[in-house]
Amino acid sequence: MFAGSKASFLLKNLVEAGFHSNHNKLIFEIIYEIKKTINDLSGILERSKKEKIFWDENPRIVCVILIKKKTIERNIKSLFFFFFHRTKQIELLFWLNNFGFSKHFFSHYFSKQEFKYLNIYNQILNDYFNQIQINLLKKDQFFSETFLSD
């Protein structure tokens, strides 16, 4: 199963189960599926560098990257909906600090258990942004700036 769709399926189960039960295993599965999607994307980038593929001349690869990007963004947003279920400021929190988390700022929103997941998730995001710090599309500044910002 495609990593993005499996993560979406797991998130649906998580929401249907309600927030009161123990979700440790399910949350780690979702994070693992997002990490797999990130690794898939990194693999595409690495192979293309070795094969000296020029992004602006290969629309098929650009489409694959955009699809992977959308999958990652959708799963990130879904996880944020889960983590921020107690607040009305989902959009503000989602875009704050390029997906980063400030423990001091968010301390009144989360329990210690939730912080454990946030720290793991934040580390995955940091690794992801560090892995793909290359300029994919020189002609498309909007894509490069939004996709590769850190």
Query: Considering only CA atoms, which of 150, 88, 82 is closest in space to residue 118?
Result: 82
pLDDT at 139: 38
Count CA within 13 A, CB hemisphere, residue 47: 8
pTM above 0.85, yes or no: no
Contact status, residue 31 vs residue 121, Cβ threshold 8 Å? yes
Query: Considering only CA atoms, which of 19, 85, 72, 12 is closest in space to residue 41?
Result: 72
Domains of the chain in sequence order: 3-147 (1.20.58)
Q: Which two tokens stand for residue 101?
A: 């988390």
Weakly modelled stretches of the chain, pLDDT under 70: 1-32, 34-35, 38, 41-42, 45, 48-49, 52-66, 69, 73, 75-150
